[in-house]
Structure 1
């Protein structure tokens, strides 16, 4: 599989690449042997879709979910705040830090 050297795959399970260098609108990159034209400038360190990602699909970086896609994405699409939603849910509350019997902080 030929892939552009500007793309970094952090885990074989990932569905995104991290850019090792910025790419400009109109540039062509090669993803798994497929030529893809970039529609907008994407900066160094940003993420692009490795393959098609469906709305609601988990976006994987380092083999772990970093959120869910809020829309359909094609290979080479910029993956960022405009199309990624965090799945983080806080697991604490201030009241749970108090001892139920004494009312003191634990």
Structure 2
């Protein structure tokens, strides 16, 4: 059965003082998820574990994002987290540690039979 994307959610998160890219990414994922309660798998008669969840993180330093820790946010589904170059490091006027802004996109898919 082909993988069919059914839903995309977006979020933004920040780390104001610690330049913690993983914390900012976690906040971006929470921003995307916490406003929604979508029972997508059940709508298609599938268990929640069947959901294929592809997460894209955009951070100024993608290598500093702990993608394994971010996968723990999702209580079910087959989760893949990938970090890419993006987001912002916002300089502070006093020259201190920059504020970090990270973006997240969550794509949810299921393996479905094609419509006939």
Q: TM-score, normalised by structure 2?
A: 0.23
User: Higher strand share goes to which structure?
Assistant: 2
TM-score (norm 1): 0.24
